[in-house]
Amino acid sequence: MNKTFKIYALIFIIIMVILALFEVNKKEVIDWRKNFDVNEKSPFGLFVFNHEAKDLFKNKLKKIDVTAYDYYNENSKKKPHNIVVIESEIDTESWNKILDEVSNGSDAMVIMAKMPKEISDSIGFYDSQISFEDVNALKLTDRKYQNDFIKLDKFPSGRGFSYIKPGVQVLGKTIEKENDDQANFIKAKFGKGKIYVHCEPLFLTNYYLLKSGNTKYAQDVFSYLDDRETLWFVEANTKESRFFMRFILGNPALKYAWWLLLAGLILFIFFNAKRKQRIVPIIEPLKNTSVDFVKSIGNLYLQEGDFHDMMAKKAQYFLNKVRLDLLIDTQNLDEEFAKKLHLKTGKDIETINEAIVLIKKAQDPYASVMKEDLARMNKLLDSILK
């Protein structure tokens, strides 16, 4: 290793240590932007709602990632259904398509802080900033939902309906200490269907849904929709980058690791660009002669015809395995030993007793042993230890 390589390697290590220290000491910054993105886990994203939406709508929810205009042009003969829009930028043509579906019997739930003119003009209301309070509460007017409310303590929009034409039903209100109650959730008939409008979408965000008891308010709001197919138009929130590095670059820790890896590869290429690979000599692997040795010893015993000695060695090897692997005392080959061996191996007690008889025969130096005894004992002992 030359001196130049050592210097660059040291510089690289110092850079990595400095970056690691910056990463360890970096304070995590919480993103409080109201993005209402179904893929964002930040406080005001819709990741939790997106994850729980199927259960909320009893697996009848279908997310649509194209505009309402394109969808209904391709599906022009749909049965009455539910339509959900949550803080999405929808063009005028798409709103007209949604209103057409509602007039034919569908119901629409529009949850947006600032309502589009197409909706407000069609129903007959004005929404505006009615309060700048830091804390308020959302509550439904129906008596059966009186105990279900949600407290907004982080950046409530303070929006409400400053004017509602006669015939529009108020379903929910914003309650504040210093101001009068203001309508924030209304219902209006439109043709054969109904339009529900809620002007405070914060109650669907991660920050509030993760708080105990708040999910009940969201369930109450959507309970006004009939139990049928529901289309959720999420085109504005689900257009993600298709770049294959999106996940890595979107995670700070993985992003730093990726850039460090690239820096390391560049340094490696730089230092090894002029290096020539030497010819690697072919070395024959060492031959394993253990098997040949065992065969030679076995043939020697067979030629000598000393079956008694072979049985004794086989028995000794078996008892040693029993002591080490099964932790059974082999000093006394009695009924207790046979019982323990039977319990730990699961073999028949008759097989074990027969094997013990042959082992004792092998241990007896004056016993007469035949080739058949050796073969039988070898088969029994191997079957027991399998």
With pLDDT > 70 as the criterion, what percentage of the chain qualifies? 83
**266 in the same domain as 303:** no
pLDDT tens-place string over residues 41-81: 899 999 999 999 989 998 999 999 899 999 999 988 889 99
258 occurs within a structural domain? yes
Q: What is the average per-residue pLDDT within 197-211?
A: 93
Contact 373, 361 (CB under 8 A): yes
Question: Is 272 or 79 the better-scoring residue by pLDDT?
Answer: 79
**57 in the same domain as 10:** no
**72 in the same domain as 217:** yes
**207 in the same domain as 58:** yes
280 occurs within a structural domain? no
**What pLDDT score was predicted for residue 201?**
93
**111 in the same domain as 7:** no
With pLDDT > 90 as the criterion, what percentage of the chain qualifies? 30
**349 in the same domain as 305:** yes
Q: Work out the pLDDT band at 273, boundaries 50, 70, 90.
A: low
Q: Work out the pLDDT band at 224, boundaries 50, 70, 90.
A: very high
In the predicted structure, residue 159 carries a pLDDT above the cut 50:
yes
Q: Structural domain of residue 24, as residue ranges? A: 3-29+245-272
In the predicted structure, residue 108 carries a pLDDT above the cut 90:
yes
**86 in the same domain as 19:** no
**178 in the same domain as 64:** yes
**324 in the same domain as 211:** no
**152 in the same domain as 53:** yes
**What pLDDT score was predicted for residue 235?**
65
Report the number of distinct structural domains present in the chain: 3
Q: Say if strands 82-86 and 230-233 run parallel, antiparallel, or are unpaired.
A: parallel
Give the orientation angle of helix 252-272 with respect to helix 3-25, to 10 degrees. Answer: 180
Q: How many helices (H) and strands (E) does the chain have?
A: 15, 11
Most confident of 4-8, 29-33, 238-242, 320-324: 320-324
**How far is Cα 81 from Cα 220, in angstroms, rounded to an integer?**
19
42 occurs within a structural domain? no
343 occurs within a structural domain? yes
**What pLDDT score was predicted for residue 238?**
40
* 136 SS3 class: strand
CATH number of the domain enclosing 82 = 3.40.50.880
Q: What is the average per-residue pLDDT within 31-42?
A: 88
**What pLDDT score was predicted for residue 242?**
45
Domain termination site, one of 238, 263, 282: 238
365 occurs within a structural domain? yes
E-state strands within the chain = 61-64, 82-86, 107-111, 125-129, 136-140, 149-152, 159-164, 169-175, 182-190, 193-198, 230-233
283 occurs within a structural domain? no
**What pLDDT score was predicted for residue 296?**
61
**92 in the same domain as 15:** no
How is 137-151 classified by DSSP, letter by letter? EEEESSGGGTT-EEE
318 occurs within a structural domain? yes
**224 in the same domain as 325:** no
In the predicted structure, residue 204 carries a pLDDT above the cut 70:
yes
Most confident of 4-18, 210-224, 319-333: 210-224
19 occurs within a structural domain? yes
Question: Is 224 or 259 the better-scoring residue by pLDDT?
Answer: 224
Most confident of 221-230, 307-316, 319-328: 221-230
